[in-house]
Amino acid sequence: MLTREQAADIFDRIRKLSSADETEVLFSGGSFALTRFANNTIHQNVADENHMVSVRTVFGGRTARASTNKFDDDSLRRVVESSEALARVQHPDSDLLPMPDDREAAGRADEGVRSTPVPSRYFAETAAITPQLRADSVKKIVEVAQNHKLTTAGIFSSSESVEGIFNSRGLSDWYTQTLAEVSITMLGADSSGWQKANSPDVSNLDPLGLAEIAAKKALDSTHPAEIPAGKYTVILEPAAVLDIVGFMFWDYSGMAILDQRSFLTGRIGTKLFGENITIWDDVTHPLQTGSPFDGEGMRRQRLPLVENGVVERVVYARGTAARMKASEYKDKVGPIEATGHGFALPNEMGEMPLNIVFAAPQNPQTLAQMIASTERGVLVTRLWYIREVDPYEKIVTGMTRDGTFLVENGKVQRGLRNFRFNQSLIHMLSGVEAMSMPVRSSGEESFDMVVPAMKVRDFNFTEVTKF
Amino acid sequence: MKQIADWALNVATMRGASYSDARIVSQRSRALTTKNGKVGSASDAESAGMSVRVLADGAWGFAASEDLSRAGVEATAAHAVEIARASAQVKQQDVRLAPEKPVTAEWTTPHVIDPFSISVEQNIALLLNIDSELCAVAGITLAESNLNFNRDEQWFVSSEGTDIHQTKYSAGAGYAAYAFAGNEIQKRSYPNSFGGQWQNKGYELIEELKLVENARRIAEEAVALHHADQCPEGKFDIILDSSQLGLQIHESIGHPIELDRVLGMEANFAGTSFLTLDKLRTLRYGSEMVNVVADARQEHGPGLGTFGFDDEGVPAQCTPIITNGLFTGYLSSRETAHTIGENRSGGTLRAEGWNRLPMIRMTNISLLPGEKPLTLEQLIASTDHGILMQTNRSWSIDDRRYNFQFGCEIGWEIKHGKRVRMVKNPSYSGITTEFWNSLDAICSRDEWTLWGTPNCGKGQPQQVMGTGHGAAPSRFRGVKVGSAYKGS
């Protein structure tokens, strides 16, 4: 894998080739391997290694980017020429700021991130996972399926990755991470169950435990019954929560407010959700992953986005913060400062919080307690194919999947046919009756988060499918 | 390049692979966007590398690397064999490949103008011209436009003697105008939403799209939606424009016919399919008028699913998918063809890039146009009461591809053969086979467009692929409309 020293050498070569006023180089990549299984067979098994170098040049307010995965002299010369040629023909952008230096990049994060260092997320044991080790684990997962007369499908992946940034004002930062991930579906004749987990440290994963839970869901949901669509109390497991709430975090962005494409336009400072909802963005959280710096090298701050239901603030890239301070909205959007959440420049989206952590509730309940207190409701394992229906009321649609159950009289009674929902996230987060302790969770519709299970009243199922 | 591939294949064979292929790929892309009078992003990217796919002990292994040195290539090939041997420890049966005659071939996307030969200044001038047209309309609060060009050059060499050099070009362009007012964000896009129109063509596509000419109208419609009535709820006859119908085909025909899904290979992520093997040549998928093909051949048109050969060296083909309403074919590969009694692959295996495993992907899945002359205006004129819906805004379908819901950017209520009013937030939903059986009119060839979907996601690790979908405006009877906004 590319080292910081090798990257520094490549940056020096690029600087010598560049004639730009300013030059920034991003590094990304690493090695990735994934063993995929279905029908109790490993049917796909892949590994790759790749690193990208991405060069941004600036000439008098004009900027552009070019990238390559080849680090020989000719390739580096070509990528610098491409970046410069693209940059020179841009129109000057009066909002483009000079690149940050190390001191500016530290920002207020000096008080937060660096005094509470990001935990190491590189584990040699994860990096050393072999195809044989993954196959051994899959074999045991398949045995669980066979013991229950089910078939299984899923993945076991492992990776080590780097992210780095160097610029001509002396800024440099570097981050390495490992990640192991297991996702398991168990299939019966007319039912299925699912579980997924990931961690930088493979020793945190329990593939067999996940397999048994997925198998139980498949077994418990055989012969699913159809009940009419309508408003139900639902108990959403953490993966279902993360997948649906993930659709609102693109809007916690200063640029989204300036563009008037955020559902928070005109709503920052108002109580939009229930009193029990508090949400942070926190790259330092021990269950979080990802680099502690953004696309310009700014250190990510730990921020409260929502406190007791009130939307407190959004995140900012440097340029967005400067624009917001000069805008008509400046007095209506809470604190305005670069928070270390910007995407690599140039881009049109600005920034986004990517390390979401829901605060622990005052009276956390286990999933079993939520079920026990439910007279009639629906337990949801997982959601699928979620898309935005209405951007301002934040209505999203999607399906339940791989384990949907009827809860009656405090007990899980039987499996149900899957529902389609059309649900406003504003209404949903205003109707949360109970939450578990937040856990690291992973789904397929959104990025990983630290979220609780939620019991929500009046969740809006609009249709039932055929299985 | 042949020599590099041979280094890989020789090592794979020496280490015991019974089959191997190598793909060396060089990719180049350019992406330009504007937003509210400024360039939003400007970037060029190049990537090159090689992958080796092997069968050893009856199971698959795949490894890829950016390193094209002899030592790097040989190490990658050896790693692929090591991975295959690990795969073989968890198998129910050996992989069987349908036979394919070895070929030596060259193929390049027919194009008139190399898109990379057009100056960036000219590209940006076009986008800013569109932007100024959009922003000139009072009430527009956000204008975005994009231009994208891609060139993928690939050398495919297999241990069976196939040697194919293939170069594909694609281009895409589009824009969107947003209007925020009160508690509502309305949006109109052209020529399609989510990136516009994409085809395997050169810069001539951009010239054909009449981008500037339509910008003012699109922006005015976005603003006008704020004054439109909410789309009514209930059962209606609906007419879908060809771009929305293209996405409907993608989701409710294209995905369920992927044989890997049908066989359970995608069960953990993308899902399975209601089209179990017993339904082949027995299921009435749609009404008699429904004829759908999977056609990767150049004669079908410059779709994103058009190529000379797929990524395991099988020539482009046309497979009848639905014939006069009857379900007649799947998308298959050399590995899966035998499961449907075929002795040859349908030629649909494609990979996103050099470091991804090829998998079954849609080619151009197209609804053939009606044979009798019928324009959209004639179709509207023959509709007593219905809703015309244009341009996708949201899409969702369950993991077996039965229950779907689509939202569109704009709707028009039709009464007694005439558009009587604009309606906002139109949506419709249904069950796949019931929906396609309700089709009773398809416009003819002059209304037919081969749309490109550049962002189809599938696989683990997920791969993004471009697919093509030809469609003409069509009418569906008695469809459920408006439940997206019911009680949410």
Please name the member of A51, A83, A131 whose beta carbon is closest to the beta carbon of B86: A131
Question: Worst-scoring range by mean pLDDT, A39-48, A116-125, A418-427?
Answer: A116-125
DSSP B315-348: BP-EEEEEETTEE---B--TTTGGGGT-SS--S-
Share of chain A above pLDDT 70, in %: 98
Residue A206 lies in a domain: yes
pLDDT band at B121; cut points 50, 70, 90: very high
Q: Out of A187, A220, A253, pick the residue that ends a domain.
A: A220
Within B398-435, strands assigned E span: 403-415, 418-424, 427-431
Residue found by looking up tokens 């890039």 in the block: B353
Residue A321 lies in a domain: yes
Structure tokens at A123: 């584990």
Whether the CB-CB separation of A162 and A205 falls below 8 Å is answered with: no
Share of chain B above pLDDT 90, in %: 99
Is 60 exceeded by the pLDDT of residue A460?
yes
Over residues A361-382, mean pLDDT: 98
Over residues B406-434, mean pLDDT: 98
Is 60 exceeded by the pLDDT of residue B132?
yes
Structure tokens at B313: 């060296």
Over residues A368-372, mean pLDDT: 98
Residue A279 lies in a domain: yes
C-alpha span between B78 and A131 (Å, rounded): 13
Most B CBs within 10 Å: which of A77, A388, A399, as the mutation test of the B interface? A399
Q: What is the reported pLDDT for A109? A: 55
Structure tokens at A45: 């098994």
Is 60 exceeded by the pLDDT of residue B183?
yes
Residue type, B89: Q
Domain that includes residue A169, residue range: 124-220
Contact: A387, B47; criterion CB under 8 Å: no
Give percent helix, percent strand, percent coil of chain B, each to the nearest 5.
25, 40, 35
Q: What is the reported pLDDT for B48? A: 96
Most A CBs within 10 Å: which of B67, B69, B83, B431, as the mutation test of the A interface? B83
Same-domain check for residues A310 and A385: yes
Q: Which residue of A has its CA nearest to B408?
A: A389
Structure tokens at A229: 């669509």
Q: Out of A110, A143, A164, pick the residue that ends a domain.
A: A110
Most A CBs within 10 Å: which of B15, B30, B44, as the mutation test of the A interface? B44
Query: Looking at residue B254, what DSSP letter applies?
Result: I
Residue A118 lies in a domain: no
Same-domain check for residues A268 and A187: no
Contact: A466, B402; criterion CB under 8 Å: yes
Query: For residue A330, how far is the Cα from the chain centroid?
Result: 28
Residue A435 lies in a domain: yes
Contact: A385, B397; criterion CB under 8 Å: yes
Q: What is the reported pLDDT for A284? A: 94
Burial class of residue A373 (count of CB atoms within 10 Å of its CB; 0-12, 13-18, 19+): middle
- Residue numbers in A near B144 (CB within 8 A): 348
The pLDDT tens digits of the residues spanning B257-304 come to 999 999 999 999 999 999 999 999 999 999 999 999 999 999 999 999
Q: What is the reported pLDDT for A119? A: 80
Same-domain check for residues A315 and A397: yes
CA distance A105 to chain B (A): 22
Is 90 exceeded by the pLDDT of residue B341?
yes
Whether the CB-CB separation of A27 and A167 falls below 8 Å is answered with: no
Please name the member of B63, B67, B271 whose beta carbon is closest to the beta carbon of A47: B63
Residue A449 lies in a domain: yes
- What ipTM score was computed for the predicted complex, to two decimals? 0.96
Is 90 exceeded by the pLDDT of residue A165?
yes
Same-domain check for residues A216 and A300: no
Give how many domains chain A has, as a whole number: 3
**What is the rounded average pLDDT for all residues in chain B?**
97
Q: How many CB pairs under 8 A join A and B?
A: 291
Is 70 exceeded by the pLDDT of residue A116?
no
Structure tokens at B120: 């960036």
The pLDDT tens digits of the residues spanning B149-175 come to 999 999 999 999 999 999 999 999 999
Residue A36 lies in a domain: no
CA distances from A125 to A71, A121, B440 (A): 29, 12, 61
Over residues A439-463, mean pLDDT: 97
At B154, is the secondary structure helix, strand, or coil? Answer: strand
At B113, is the secondary structure helix, strand, or coil? Answer: coil
CA distance A241 to chain B (A): 17
Structure tokens at B176: 């969107």
Is 60 exceeded by the pLDDT of residue A100?
yes
Omega into B115 within 30° of 0, i.e. cis? Answer: no
Q: What is the reported pLDDT for B1? A: 87
- Residue numbers in B near A398 (CB within 8 A): 396
Same-domain check for residues A71 and A135: no
C-alpha span between A321 and A338 (Å, rounded): 6
Is 80 exceeded by the pLDDT of residue A111?
no
Contact: A185, B357; criterion CB under 8 Å: no
Contact: B66, A49; criterion CB under 8 Å: yes
Contact: A46, B185; criterion CB under 8 Å: no
CATH number of B2-227: 3.30.2290.10
State whether the Cα torsion B351-B352-B357-B361 is positive or negative.
Answer: negative
Over residues B35-53, mean pLDDT: 95
CA distance A157 to chain B (A): 9
Contact: B264, A49; criterion CB under 8 Å: no
Please name the member of A46, A86, A192 whose beta carbon is closest to the beta carbon of B357: A46
Whether the CB-CB separation of B470 and B450 falls below 8 Å is answered with: yes
Same-domain check for residues A201 and A330: no
**What is the rounded average pLDDT for all residues in chain A?**
96
**If residue A427 lies in a helix (H) or strand (E), which one and from where to where?**
helix A425-428
The dihedral formed by the CA atoms of B285, B288, B294 and B298, expressed in degrees to the nearest 10: -170
Q: Which residue of A has its CA nearest to B426?
A: A389
Q: Which residue of B has its CA nearest to A194?
A: B268
pLDDT band at A118; cut points 50, 70, 90: confident
- Residue numbers in B near A447 (CB within 8 A): none
The pLDDT tens digits of the residues spanning A293-341 come to 999 999 999 999 999 999 999 999 999 999 999 999 999 999 999 999 9
Count Cβ atoms below 10 Å from residue A286 Cβ, excluding itself. 10
Residue type, A3: T
- pTM, rounded to two decimals: 0.97
Over residues A265-286, mean pLDDT: 97
Same-domain check for residues A441 and A457: yes
Residue A37 lies in a domain: no
Most A CBs within 10 Å: which of B189, B460, B486, as the mutation test of the A interface? B460
Q: What is the reported pLDDT for A52? A: 98
Contact: B267, A185; criterion CB under 8 Å: yes
The residues facing A54 across adjacent strands are A26, A67
The pLDDT tens digits of the residues spanning A198-244 come to 999 999 999 999 999 999 999 999 999 999 999 999 999 999 999 99
**If residue A197 lies in a helix (H) or strand (E), which one and from where to where?**
strand A192-199
Please name the member of B124, B268, B484 whose beta carbon is closest to the beta carbon of A183: B268
Structure tokens at A388: 């935005």
Please name the member of A69, A79, A157 whose beta carbon is closest to the beta carbon of B49: A69
**If residue B249 lies in a helix (H) or strand (E), which one and from where to where?**
helix B242-249
CATH number of the domain at A200, please: 3.30.2290.10
Count H helices and E strands in chain B, helices first.
9, 24
Share of chain B above pLDDT 70, in %: 100
Please name the member of A151, A387, A460 whose beta carbon is closest to the beta carbon of B395: A387
Omega into B461 within 30° of 0, i.e. cis? Answer: yes
- Residue numbers in B near A90 (CB within 8 A): 39, 42, 124
pLDDT band at A117; cut points 50, 70, 90: low
Q: At what angle do helices A131-147 and B70-87 cross, to 10 degrees?
A: 20
Is 60 exceeded by the pLDDT of residue A172?
yes
Q: What is the reported pLDDT for B488? A: 74
- Residue numbers in B near A48 (CB within 8 A): 51, 63-65, 355-356
Please name the member of B66, B265, B484 whose beta carbon is closest to the beta carbon of A51: B66
Domain limits, CATH 3.30.2290.10, in chain B: 2-227
Q: Which residues are within 8 A (CB) of A261 and not within 5 positions of it... i.e. 6 or more apart?
A: A251, A391, B142, B178, B180, B185
